[in-house]
Structure 1
Amino acid sequence: MKRGINKIKLFENLDKETKEKLSAVSTIKKYKKGELLYSDKEKINTVYFVLEGVASLYKPNPDNTKKVVFLFGEGYVLNEVIIYENITSLSCEFLSNAKLLEIPREKFVEILETSYPLAKGVIESLINKNRIMSHQLKNISNSITVDRQIAFKLWKLGKDFGIETPDGIEINFDLSITLFAEMLGAKRETVSRQVKVLSELGLISLKRKRFTLLKYNELLDYFHGKILN
């Protein structure tokens, strides 16, 4: 269990005693790709941390579509917000097979109340998520075209989930055009068309739902308007 505790970013600055307390009340569970962990507005009493895999946190829309708000991989906490109110505001499903470290909410809060570094880490994690949401709102403004939004999102996914291959940086989970559209809050047809544009420019390739970023750094240049199509 200690190996699991040591993989969590939120626990990096904790002393040995606090880590041992967390380890004593933790369990590890595996989940399959496509499995729903919890739903929007569901009451839950477990704090979840990703040890392996990729989790999508999204808001269901009235028309049965989704707005993906966060993607989190290894080392991240999914739902620290429930320590304040244990009703979820987002749904969570897995984009790959996953392994989670799980801690009962009440036990986590008990340890939190005795550890300033842990409390500080939770606050910083919440601030970081708020910062991510602010960047997303900025990047989907009317002044930024969909192709540039796609270029930036792929660059960011490459940074967070990329693996080196002979051809470039591969995003290491299946990313369909439908899911990509849900992440951007754009129409599927528009995303499909603009992905084709970036492919024709030689910046990316898409094969069997796997994106490879052929010219990773140039995606950021494209976002900033330095490459014209």
Structure 2
Amino acid sequence: MNSEKRVERGLLNLLSEKSRKELLDAGKVKTLKKGEILFAEREEVKCMYIILDGFVALYRNSRYGEIKIIFICTNGEVLNEVVLQDKKTSICTKALADTQLLCVHRSEIYKLMADNTELSREIFDSLARKTRRLYHQVGNANGTYPIEKRLAAKIWKLARDYGNSTPEGVQISFELTVTFLANMLGAKRETISRIISSWKKDEIVIHENGFLTVIDMKSLKEISQ
């Protein structure tokens, strides 16, 4: 797997050894099973959660019952920086695989930030990275780009960031159903299914048992451009 690329933006992986130890010592480990919900919208949460190992989806539910996947987070990344401002959550979380989390009470985070400028800077940087990703999502959500290009770009990036090398190609490390992809892109499930079926015939991807493998990264990249 491209593990170095996958974790390079995570808070824990960017801290010095000293700061990382202080943060780890201040928290406790929590385990989630695949499919388990950590918290839902408008719940009161008192801890900041950081992924030690695994994958978690951050998403919102619309008033019509539709799901919009906002982010996929992995090793070292913070799930809920907003706990420093408000205990009430504004997003839902779901484990995409068996996952271990570091849970640090927000009062402990405040204490650490008061004495550790490196930790403070990296938490602010974590928020800034999420903001930049949201800007990019908003830019892509206005219909400027055809859905096929958007889907190709999304799968290519997922394979690059979260892929395992296999004899068939690059397999994304967690289940990626047609419905999940549709929720990520705000598209109809039928549309995504049709495009994936076409790519399977062209031997660009394999989609079996919920897992997606990219056979031809180059072709997928070309479609996205």
Deviation at 1:44, TM superposition (A): 0.5
Contact 2:10 2:74 (C-alpha < 8 Å) held by counterparts: no
Equivalent residue number for residue 211 of structure 2: 210
1:172-227, CA deviations, whole angstroms, 9 ceiling, x for partnerless residues? Answer: 11111111111111111111111112222221110111100011132121111xxx
Give the aligned partner of residue 227 of structure 1: none
How many Å separate the matches in 1 of 2:11 and 2:126?
Answer: 8
Tell whether the 8 Å contact from 1:146 to 1:194 is kept in structure 2 after alignment: no
Give distance in 2, aligned partners of 1:171 and 1:159: 9
Matched, 1:43 2:44: yes
Cα pair 1:170 1:213 within 8 Å, conserved: yes
Q: Deviations over 1:145-195 (max 9, x none)?
A: 111111000011112210100111000111111111111111111111111
Determine the structure 2 residue equivalent to 1:67: 68
**Over the residues paired in the alignment, what is the CA RMSD in angstroms?**
1.7
Hey, what's the Cα distance between the residues in 2 that align with 1:94 and 1:17?
29
C-alpha contact 1:18 1:111 (8 A) present in aligned 2: no
Q: Distance in 2 between matches of 1:176 and 1:14?
A: 34
Does structure 1 retain, via aligned residues, the 8 Å contact 2:204–2:214?
A: yes
Matched to 2:184, the amino acid is: M
- The one-letter code of the counterpart of 2:169 is G
The alpha carbon displacement at 1:12 in A equals 4.2
Amino acid of the residue matched to residue 98 of structure 1? T
- Higher RCO (CA-CA < 8 Å; seq separation 6+): 2
Q: TM-score, normalised by structure 2?
A: 0.91
Residues 180, 191 of structure 1: 8 Å contact kept: yes
Kindly report which structure 2 residues correspond to 1:139-158, keeping only aligned pairs within 5 A, or say none. Answer: 139-158=140-159
Q: Match of 1:57, SS?
A: strand
Amino acid at match of 2:179: T
Match of 1:10 in 2: 11
Pairing 1:183–2:184 present: yes
- Which residues of 2 match residues 116-155 of structure 1 at below 5 A? 116-155=117-156
- Where structure 1 has 5 or more consecutive residues not aligned to the other structure, the ranges are 1-6, 225-229
Q: Which residue of 1 aligns with 2:102?
A: 101
- Who is 2:81 aligned against? 80
SS class of match (2:52): strand
Deviation at 1:140, TM superposition (A): 2.9
Tell me the amino acid that sits aligned with residue 120 of structure 2: A
- Percent identity between matched residues is 29
For residues 144 and 62 of structure 1, what CA distance do their matches in structure 2 show? 26
Secondary structure class of the residue paired with 2:175: coil
**Hey, what's the Cα distance between the residues in 2 that align with 1:141 and 1:134?**
12
| TM-score, normalised with respect to structure 1 | 0.89
1:38 match: secondary structure? coil
CA distance in 2, matches of 1:62, 1:88: 17
- 1:86 is paired with a residue of what secondary structure? coil
Q: Contact between 1:49 and 1:76, CA under 8 Å: does it hold in 2?
A: yes
Q: What is the one-letter code of the residue matched to 1:80? A: E
Does structure 2 conserve the Cα–Cα contact (< 8 Å) formed by 1:13 and 1:117? no
